[in-house]
Amino acid sequence: MPQYRAPIRDFEFVLKEFLNIEKYKDLEGFEEVDNDLISALLSEGAKLCEEVLFPLNQSGDTEGVEFKNGNVKVPQGFKEAYETYTQSGWTALTCDKKYGGQGLPDVMNMAISEMICSANLSFGITPGLTHGAYNAIHMHGTEKLKKKYLPKMVDGTWTGVMCLTEPQCGTDLGLVRTTATPHGKGVYKINGSKIFISAGDQDLTENIIHLVLAKLPDAPDGIKGISLFVVPKIMVNDDGSLGEANNVTCGSIEHKMGIHASPTCVMNYDNSIGYLLGEAHKGLRAMFTMMNEARLYVGVQGLGLSEVSYQNAAEYAKERLQGRGLKGAKYPDKAADPLVVHPDIRRMLLTMRSFNEGARALATLTALKIDVSKKHPDEQERQDADDFVQMITPILKSYLTDAGFESTNLGMQIFGGHGYIKEYGMEQYSRDARIAQIYEGANGIQALDLVGRKLPKHTGRYLRAFFHPAAEFVEKHKENKEMAEFTKALHQALGTGQQASLWIAANGMGNPEEAAAGSSEYLRLMALVVFAYIWAQMAEISLKKLAQDTSEKEFYEAKLATARFYMQKILPHSYGLLASIVNGAKPVMAMKEEAF
């Protein structure tokens, strides 16, 4: 049976030491955030995830979701767990106090989100989507819509979902066929079907608020003709009570590779009443409010599953006796040495660990930058933070899910044959992780977004939001001998990233296929460079702590050892990626289509 323990000490390192959250007290929402609150939230979140959600993960995967007579039923224990989750106030954590929220900054939600993804990803999808729907309504809805729907979404009485995909359109949303016909002032009748709707129907809550992309009768062709509508499953009366059913029905559920305890629905809308959210024909603007931050949380799904896989693989490697150390027996009193003595096992474990700790710091930093971009009083500070978020979002979503999936496979590999057996739990993490590379914008699309939109935008301003601070960090520490091993590697990595960026920009301008052919490799290369900057900063903190205090010597020495592994064994992969990028599009595009 697998185990999970929330990595509280590392969360504390990120929030208290790497980000020093207390220094943001002047920003809205941060007033009450201090180290004591951070510790309390981490402790309570860990208790929920370890004791309530994690025990349901394997049973939920085995039981799956039931679809009968048009109704969706979640696995046993999930309703009770959801009640515990909502009654504990987790749905309201970062929501507006005006609608019943606690008003804490987004950064305070990251550790809890990761814990939930580690403990029970299928469970976490529903409240995660609800928060995204809340964000879209909060930012783009009229005050009437907000008052009507947000309070019960904030307290978890109702959930929310996004409804984009149709059988004929996934990435290309300009092909949407769902229609919205005016039916009186501000009211529309929605007709059409959506597929792949996570948590589109369930029996956890009494109502589900659907955000549906549809086209008005006068809509122009393509994505410029899409509008977004609030479509409740059950109509809501003016006094907030529930009215009649709204002809929002589940036609079927998908039978999937993973996330078996999360319903993935085909949703049908038959003259369902909807309300315009935002402006007509500008639905993607409102929807991407929901999706951009959702991409951060999807990245955290890859991280969360990698963390729980690592924990179990590390424990197994220390216990499982197989073979002898190559330099001789490490434990001669035992029948064999544990797996952890073998170099390749250690390589896999350190690959997982260096990813987990780097990804945790990057995801939490990005959430903080989102807060700063919204709340900082200085316009330039807001702009700089938003520039960083714009560049990092496709990198974070794509790399954290790609590397997260690779990491769960390493965890399964460490278990050997037992990793392939269901009762050990490792194969579920791989199955569950796979979807994160696909939904909320497939990773290839994230790469195209990076090279096609983010790299050229404002003549490279988004990239400067990363490269300039990283270069300043190297310059600041150029005389620090203790930091030399980290700053030298970071300096070289920055050069590699700049070379790749210049090549993509120069060659993609004349032939967009040159940029597209190397886009996924460029995204991965940039992810490795970004992680190098993150690890260099964490190494600096660890060196200072070791010089000041040895009470947590093992923690900081392990952090430095992991940093060295990353810089010396993972970061060099960037050189091979650069070589592939500059070989251009011809090897990709030369083969005739009929030869495939």
Any idea which residues carry the catalytic annotation?
A: 440
Q: How far apart, in Å, are the Cα atoms of 418 and each of 238, 314, 485?
A: 57, 14, 39
Tell the burial category of 496 from Cβ atoms under 10 Å away from its Cβ (0-12, 13-18, 19+). Answer: buried
Residues whose CB falls within 8 Å of the CB of residue 249, separated by 6 or more in sequence, listed in order? 70, 201, 267, 268, 270
8 A C-beta contact, residue 182 and residue 133: no
In the DSSP assignment, the letter for residue 219 is P
Dihedral sign, CA of 7, 10, 16, 20? negative
CA 110 to CA 96: how far, in whole Å? 17
CA 114 to CA 456: how far, in whole Å? 32
8 A C-beta contact, residue 451 and residue 508: yes
* Cβ-defined contacts of 516-520 (< 8 Å, 24+): 516/448, 516/451, 516/452, 516/585, 517/584, 517/585, 517/588, 517/589, 518/451, 518/580, 518/581, 518/582, 518/584, 518/585, 519/444, 519/447, 519/448, 519/450, 519/451, 519/452, 520/398, 520/443, 520/444, 520/447
CA 346 to CA 338: how far, in whole Å? 11
8 A C-beta contact, residue 439 and residue 397: no
DSSP string across 275-305: EEESSTTBHHHHHHHHHHHHHHHHHHHHHHH
Residues whose CB falls within 8 Å of the CB of residue 458, separated by 6 or more in sequence, listed in order? none
8 A C-beta contact, residue 366 and residue 530: no
- The number of angstroms, rounded, from the C-alpha of 150 to the middle of its chain's C-alpha atoms is 23
Q: Could you tell me which of 264, 294, 66 has the C-alpha nearest to residue 165?
A: 264
Residues whose CB falls within 8 Å of the CB of residue 119, separated by 6 or more in sequence, listed in order? 4, 49, 50, 53, 54, 57, 304, 308
Buried b (16+ CB within 10 A) or exposed e, 310-334: bbbbbebbeebeeebeeeeeeeeee
3-state secondary structure of 5: coil
DSSP string across 179-195: EEEE-STTEEEEEEEEE
Amino acid (1-letter code) at residue 355? F
